[in-house]
């Protein structure tokens, strides 16, 4: 049994960590956030040079053809530094959907450009007042054009091309839409955690079907992959938040002693540590679910990712809340970094679904343990 | 976890799976599976003797003393498959407490004298550690052993002696030097429970059962050759023993079996909406426990995996296994209690009722008793608060 990272993965993690240490400390991040874009095109190009944008793209389309194991390593480092660039929207969701569903010509047009860092993508699936519903969009496709409104389009502020879900004569389909095309209005938004998003209006916008056939299975697979990526990111963010909190407990003095000498605070920090280990275990579980299902056909994958998400989300919530509480007033300020971790850890659990729905869906899939009693 | 194992490990897992299901009598495994207390003593003895015959009772001991040259992963498989097959585990006092201490720190003479009988449970060992005023602060223990010629004279009281009513011998921490730092004056002494002056008194617990005891020592004479290792080194041996106690304390396999049983009962319990298993609030409670149990399983596997990579020291993350394992075991007993419903609130010994009455629901005889009994798991073996203290100190540096 070997659950450790491979040498290549360790090296990749160290390389990304080095880059972020040099270019992405709290003040650099603040400057990026204050800029017009809200992310850094220069950093994006460095991600491309390091091979991060081409990581999972097949070699025949100019990528490195690596698996999710490498993505998880990158995402954990991104989580530690709270990276703002639209990596998940472009590389995991966008390129993932194109690879799974696109025609050869579409792959040829889009994937090498993503790999080079020359193209950003965003998945436009959610609609106003419909929460996380993806299966039955109100947006329609007919006669080569799309009509409808999409919201919470992560990375939609930066995307060159949208992948849009729509009702195509009663059938769920995905479409490619050029962000600069006539009939496309992008309203850029900024999430609470600083990441870019958008609402997008499509009014007779020219659209091309992404491949053919029912995209549901591919959509589920790609969102599972994105959830597993967020699990790794959340672990990185929780690790930084807890390390920062433990440091604060050691240095902040009240009543003439470091507050970390108070048992009530020690126990609360220890519970956070246990929750971080729970999350680490389930990020690994989610990673294995994806890695062991490269063609997206496993029956257990979706269930396993949901189970992981349950644990990741409650750990994120608890650690986020306790990080602020254990810091006290300073944790409420924009100036001090802990609040920024708290914001990201608040958004992640609510990105592709929230706890109640995840719980119910997992139960509907039968959960993880098969019912069995010797006396029944 | 099969898909994480290499070929040899998988073959080993399949072998153990088959072994437990063919060699351990079905009635023993059945009683274990439905939480019956009937036959506890005899089932433990019968099972451990079968395991011992095949070399599977004490694999954690040195090979010279009858142990196995297994990897940490193999040991995990051995234990996990045992729990999944509802096989009563070897008596912990013998197999994972006194045995390893004698094996590691005892003279050849004391090993020859005790280890074979300990492995085969010809001696049923009891544990004499806790005292009325030495719980989490174990080192403050007061039971004294004063050397007089070739004997120690032991006086004092031990408590929480689990299954002490069956005990043949008791391994005991005694104070042999009262004039030094409290940890430095403790010795590890083996005492025959038939010795004059030793009495065992039962303690009734809130689960309605008699599981633990008080043991009194009134001028009990113990031959000096019953000392394990060196005098006043007992604290070192005790820490070694308690470290062993913590590994395997996650009890993931056992919790999986209990959860499977609870789910099966919930599925068989009709409600207005179908079955209790379909009830949204109830099923959310179950999935939460399932996901947390999976996290615990993977934390255990991650710790194991680094042990394989060569780390030999006890991993401080084991405290998380104890902390989480305890809570999940308790959560599952509570879940089962709530599934059984109002008829589970009577304290009964079996589901049987008088003629013409309806048999009690499944789990009625053990759910609530186990719920009360399992309040102990977050107290023994280093309470949850002790574990939080370890995490704070060893992992967070506070």
Residues A58-79 have pLDDT tens digits of: 999 999 999 999 999 999 999 9
Per DSSP, the three-state class of A14 is helix
Q: What is the pLDDT of residue A74?
A: 98
Per DSSP, the three-state class of B279 is coil
What is the rounded average pLDDT for all residues in chain A? 97
Q: Are strands B212-223 and B151-158 parallel, antiparallel or unpaired?
A: antiparallel
> Are A1 and B362 an interchain contact pair (Cβ–Cβ within 8 Å)?
no
Contacts 24+ apart (CB under 8 A), A63-68: A63/A111, A63/A112, A63/A115, A67/A291, A67/A294, A68/A225, A68/A228, A68/A229, A68/A287, A68/A290, A68/A291
pLDDT average, residue stretch A303-313: 98
Per DSSP, the three-state class of B15 is helix
- Print pLDDT tens along chain B (398 aa): 788 999 999 999 999 999 999 999 999 999 999 988 888 899 999 999 999 999 999 999 999 999 999 998 999 999 999 999 999 999 999 999 999 999 999 999 999 999 999 999 999 999 999 999 999 899 999 999 999 999 999 999 999 999 999 999 999 999 999 999 999 999 999 999 999 999 999 999 999 999 999 999 999 999 999 999 999 999 999 999 887 756 678 999 999 999 999 999 999 999 988 999 999 999 999 999 999 999 999 999 999 888 765 555 678 899 999 999 999 999 999 999 999 999 999 999 999 999 999 999 999 999 999 999 999 999 998 899 999 999 999 999 99
Per DSSP, the three-state class of B320 is helix
Interface confidence, given as ipTM, is 0.96
Residue B313 forms beta bridges with which residues? none
C-beta of residue A62 within 8 angstroms of C-beta of residue A115: yes
Q: What is the pLDDT of residue A356?
A: 92
Nearest alpha-carbon partner for A229 in A67, A111, A376: A67
Q: In Å, how far are A15, A44, A55, A226 from A66, measured between CA atoms?
A: 16, 19, 6, 16
DSSP A65: -
Interface test mutation site (partner B, options A265, A373, A376, max chain B beta carbons within 10 A): A373
Interface test mutation site (partner A, options B78, B294, B363, B383, max chain A beta carbons within 10 A): B294
- pTM for the model stands at 0.96
Q: Which of residues 292-321 of A touch B (CB under 8 A)?
A: 292, 307-308, 310-311
Q: What is the pLDDT of residue B313?
A: 67
Q: What is the pLDDT of residue B248?
A: 74
C-beta of residue A347 within 8 angstroms of C-beta of residue A82: no
> Are B305 and A375 an interchain contact pair (Cβ–Cβ within 8 Å)?
no
Q: Is B127 exposed, middle or buried (0-12, 13-18, 19+ CB in 10 A)?
A: buried
Tokens encoding B49: 């003797």
Q: Which of A271, A311, A374 sits opposite B388 (nearest CB)?
A: A271
Nearest alpha-carbon partner for A315 in A268, A359, A356, A349: A349
d(CA A59, CA A223): 23
Tokens encoding A299: 């029956």
Using a CB-CB cut-off of 8 Å, the residues of chain A touching B396 are 242, 246, 266, 269-270, 273
pLDDT confidence tier of residue A276, bands split at 50, 70 and 90 = very high
d(CA B326, CA A79): 31
pLDDT average, residue stretch A273-280: 98
Q: Is A58 exposed, middle or buried (0-12, 13-18, 19+ CB in 10 A)?
A: middle
């Amino acid at each position: 049994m070997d659950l450790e990272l491979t040498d290549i993965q360790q090296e990749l993690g160290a390389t990304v960590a080095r880059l972020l240490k040099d270019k992405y400390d709290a003040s650099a991040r603040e400057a990026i956030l204050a800029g017009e874009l809200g992310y850094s095109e220069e950093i994006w190009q460095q991600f491309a040079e390091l091979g991060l944008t081409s990581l999972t793209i097949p070699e025949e389309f100019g990528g490195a053809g690596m698996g999710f194991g490498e993505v998880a390593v990158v995402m954990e480092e991104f989580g530690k530094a709270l990276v703002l660039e639209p990596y998940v929207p472009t590389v995991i969701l966008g390129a993932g959907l194109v690879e799974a569903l696109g025609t050869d010509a579409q792959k040829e047009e889009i994937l090498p450009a993503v790999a080079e860092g020359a193209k950003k993508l965003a998945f436009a699936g959610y609609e106003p007042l419909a929460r996380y519903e993806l299966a039955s969009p109100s947006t329609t496709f007919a006669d080569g054009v799309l009509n409808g409104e999409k919201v919470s389009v992560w990375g939609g502020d930066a995307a060159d091309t949208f992948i849009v879900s729509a009702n195509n004569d009663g059938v769920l389909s995905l479409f490619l839409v050029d962000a600069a095309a006539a009939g496309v209005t992008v309203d850029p938004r900024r999430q609470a955690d600083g990441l870019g998003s958008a609402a997008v209006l499509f009014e007779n916008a020219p659209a091309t079907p992404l491949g053919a056939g029912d995209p549901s299975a591919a959509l589920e697979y790609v969102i599972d992959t994105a959830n597993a990526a967020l699990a790794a990111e959340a672990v990185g963010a929780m690790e930084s938040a807890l390390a920062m909190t433990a440091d604060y407990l050691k240095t902040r003095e009240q009543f003439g002693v470091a507050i970390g000498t108070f048992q009530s605070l020690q126990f609360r920090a220890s519970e956070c540590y246990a929750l971080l280990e729970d999350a680490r275990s389930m990020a690994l579980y989610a990673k294995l679910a994806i890695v062991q299902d490269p063609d997206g056909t496993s029956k257990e994958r979706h269930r396993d990712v949901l189970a992981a998400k349950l644990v990741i989300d409650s750990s994120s919530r608890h650690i986020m809340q306790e990080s602020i509480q254990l810091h006290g007033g300073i944790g409420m300020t924009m100036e001090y970094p802990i609040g920024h971790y708290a914001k990201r850890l608040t958004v992640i659990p609510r990105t592709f679904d929230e706890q109640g729905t995840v719980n119910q869906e997992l139960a509907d899939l039968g959960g993880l343990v098969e019912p069995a009693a010797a006396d029944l | 976890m099969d898909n994480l194992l290499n070929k040899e490990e998988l073959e080993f897992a399949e072998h153990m799976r088959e072994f437990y299901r063919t060699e351990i009598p079905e009635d023993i495994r059945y009683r274990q599976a439905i939480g019956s207390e009937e036959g506890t003593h005899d089932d433990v003895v019968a099972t451990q003797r079968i395991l011992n015959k095949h070399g599977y009772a004490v694999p954690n001991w040195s090979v010279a003393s009858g142990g196995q040259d297994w990897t940490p992963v193999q040991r995990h498989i051995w234990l996990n498959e045992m729990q999944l097959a509802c096989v009563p585990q070897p008596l912990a006092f013998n197999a994972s407490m006194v045995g390893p201490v004698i094996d590691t720190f005892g003279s050849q003479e004391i090993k020859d004298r005790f280890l074979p009988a300990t492995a085969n449970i010809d001696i049923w060992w009891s544990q004499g550690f806790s005292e009325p005023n030495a719980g989490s602060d174990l080192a403050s223990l007061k039971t004294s052993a004063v050397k007089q010629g070739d004997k120690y004279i032991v006086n004092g009281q031990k408590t929480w002696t689990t299954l002490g009513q069956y005990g043949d011998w008791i391994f005991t921490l005694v104070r042999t030097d009262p004039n030094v730092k409290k940890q430095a004056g403790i010795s590890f002494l083996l005492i025959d429970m038939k010795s004059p002056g030793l009495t065992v008194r039962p303690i009734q617990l809130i689960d309605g059962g008699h599981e633990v005891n008080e043991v009194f020592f009134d001028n009990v004479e113990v031959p000096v050759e019953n000392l394990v290792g060196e005098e006043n080194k007992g604290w070192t041996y005790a820490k070694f023993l308690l470290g062993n106690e913590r590994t395997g304390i996650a009890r993931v396999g056992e919790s999986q079996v209990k959860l499977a049983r609870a789910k099966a009962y919930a599925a068989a319990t009709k409600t207005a909406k179908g079955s209790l298993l379909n009830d949204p609030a109830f099923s959310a409670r179950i999935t939460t426990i399932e996901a947390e149990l999976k996290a615990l399983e993977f934390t255990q596997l991650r710790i194991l995996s680094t042990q394989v990579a060569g780390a030999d020291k006890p991993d401080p993350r084991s405290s998380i296994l104890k902390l989480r394992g305890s809570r999940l075991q308790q959560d599952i007993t509570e879940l089962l209690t709530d599934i059984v419903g109002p008829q589970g609130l009577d304290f009964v010994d079996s589901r049987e009722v008088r003629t013409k009455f309806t048999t009690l629901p499944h789990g009625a005889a053990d759910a609530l008793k186990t719920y009360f009994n399992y309040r102990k798991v977050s107290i023994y073996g280093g309470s949850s608060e002790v574990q939080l203290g370890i995490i704070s100190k060893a992992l967070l540096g506070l």
